[in-house]
């Protein structure tokens, strides 16, 4: 049984200059695929329940599912709430087996973000649960624009909230399908001179693989959130499989037909940033 907290896996990654993948889960099949691939490679992984996943499956079910997978694995698995927007949602995750929560106060004023994140950190730490906060705003491809993280604000945010990990905005963008090298390394480097808190890059599907590897090896970015790349793999593969035999209607057969390709891409993702 290797259920782990976010702090445990990120501090180890920071010490040994690698990163851990936060993989966005949408259901049982992809969660199992991610856990199995991490075990095969003997690397840690963070299973993440984001807003889309939670809209389809209740948090109590997700908590039990994540913990079940962690209990079967010999690799460390973090059971993580991604983009929790309220204290109530974070507390529900804590009460249902999650080992870390992300409170996303990036749309709030700086002071309100600090106050709300600090409150959740205090409550979570009493139960040995890790907390990821966010400072700056990571935008969306063809949507709301990013607001780069101010390094001095990041320093103050980390000091005041005592969060275990800090998501920052440095050119990373959610839901980006094309690979890009437009990451502001100067912002990352400046932030890590001001705080030792492990840093997180959301929207990492859109970051060039070589650049991700470089960032993992040379900075305090210890967590890359990856969802779009994996969702696209699933969707593209499912369309191909349906086209091969339109007479197959069993949903289990259809979904399972995507797993070999999904596992292949997951392996590439994990190997790229988690090699020790």
User: What's the pLDDT tens digit per position in 119-129?
Assistant: 999 999 999 99
* Burial label, 252 (beta-carbon count in 10 A; 0-12, 13-18, 19+): exposed
What is the pLDDT averaged over residues 246-256? 89
Whole-number pLDDT of residue 148: 78
How far is CA 112 from its chain centroid?
Answer: 23
pTM assigned to the model: 0.94
Residue 222: predicted pLDDT? 96
Instruction: Give the model's pLDDT for residue 189.
Output: 94
Predicted pLDDT of residue 245: 87
What is the pLDDT averaged over residues 218-239?
A: 93
Average pLDDT over residues 132-145: 76
HSE-up (13 A, CA, CB side) for residue 156:
11
**How large a percentage of the chain has pLDDT more than 90?**
76
The residue to which tokens 């059971």 are assigned: 79
CB-side neighbour CA atoms (13 Å) of 104: 15
pLDDT mean across residues, the chain: 91
Q: How high is the pLDDT of residue 180?
A: 61
pLDDT at 34: 97
pLDDT digits (tens, 9 = 90+) for 79-120: 999 999 999 999 999 999 999 999 999 999 999 999 999 999
In the structure, what pLDDT confidence band is assigned to residue 146 with cuts at 50, 70 and 90?
low
Res. 175 pLDDT band, cuts 50 70 90: low
Instruction: Choose between 172 and 221: higher pLDDT.
Output: 221
In this predicted structure, the answer to whether residue 213 has a pLDDT above a threshold of 70 is yes
Cα atoms in the Cβ-side hemisphere of radius 13 Å centred on 249: 1
* Mean pLDDT to the nearest integer, 30-54: 96
- Which of 103, 89, 153 minimizes the C-alpha distance to 131? 103
pLDDT at 181: 60
Q: Is the per-residue pLDDT at 198 higher than 80? A: yes
- Other beta carbons within 10 Å of 257: 17
Residue 214: per-residue pLDDT? 87
142 catalytic? Reply is: no
CB 139 within 8 A of CB 172: no
For 3-228+261-274, which CATH superfamily applies?
Aldolase class I (3.20.20.70)
Residue 111 neighbours by CB distance under 10 Å: 9
Alpha-helical (H) ranges within the chain are 6-16, 28-41, 51-56, 59-72, 87-95, 110-125, 151-161, 185-194, 209-218, 228-244, 251-256, 259-274
Average pLDDT of the residues in 219-246 = 92
**How far, in Å, are 19, 268, 270 from residue 182 at the CA level?**
19, 21, 22
The residue from 30, 82, 150, 164 that is catalytic is: 82
pLDDT at residue 5 tops 70? yes
pLDDT of residue 13: 95
- The token pair at 58 is 């209740």
Question: Considering only 35-49, 159-173, 259-273, which range has the smallest mean pLDDT?
Answer: 159-173
CA 54 to chain centre: 15
Segments making up each domain of the chain, as ranges = 3-228+261-274
Is the pLDDT score of 248 beyond 90? no
pLDDT at 171: 74
Virtual torsion, Cα 33, 42, 63, 221, nearest 10 deg: -100
Residue, of 140 and 37, whose pLDDT is higher: 37
DSSP, collapsed to helix, strand or coil, labels residue 76 as coil
Cβ–Cβ < 8 Å for 59, 96 = yes
């Amino acid at each position: 049984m290797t259920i782990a907290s976010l702090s445990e896996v990120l501090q180890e990654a920071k010490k040994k200059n690698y990163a851990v993948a936060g993989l966005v889960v949408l259901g049982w099949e992809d969660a199992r695929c991610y856990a199995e691939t991490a075990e095969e490679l003997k690397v840690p992984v963070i299973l993440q329940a984001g807003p889309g996943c939670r809209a389809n499956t209740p948090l109590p079910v997700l908590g039990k599912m994540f913990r079940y997978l962690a209990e079967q694995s010999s690799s460390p698995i973090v059971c993580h709430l991604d983009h929790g927007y309220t204290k109530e949602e974070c507390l529900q995750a804590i009460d249902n087996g999650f080992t870390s929560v992300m409170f996303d106060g990036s749309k709030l004023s700086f002071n309100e973000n600090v106050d709300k994140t600090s409150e959740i950190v205090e409550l979570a730490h009493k139960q040995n649960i890790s907390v990821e906060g966010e400072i700056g705003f990571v935008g969306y491809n063809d949507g709301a624009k990013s607001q780069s993280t101010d390094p001095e604000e990041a320093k103050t945010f980390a000091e005041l909230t005592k969060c275990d990990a800090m998501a920052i905005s440095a050119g990373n963008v959610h839901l980006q399908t094309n690979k890009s090298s437009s990451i502001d390394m100067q912002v990352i480097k400046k932030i890590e001179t001001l705080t030792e808190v492990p840093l997180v890059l959301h929207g990492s599907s859109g970051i060039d693989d070589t650049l991700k590897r470089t960032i993992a090896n040379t900075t305090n970015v210890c967590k890359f959130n990856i969802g779009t790349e994996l969702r696209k793999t699933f969707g593209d593969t499912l369309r191909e499989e349906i086209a091969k035999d339109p007479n197959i209607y069993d949903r289990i057969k259809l979904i399972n037909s995507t797993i070999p390709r999904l596992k292949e891409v997951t392996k590439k993702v994990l190997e790229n940033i988690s090699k020790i």
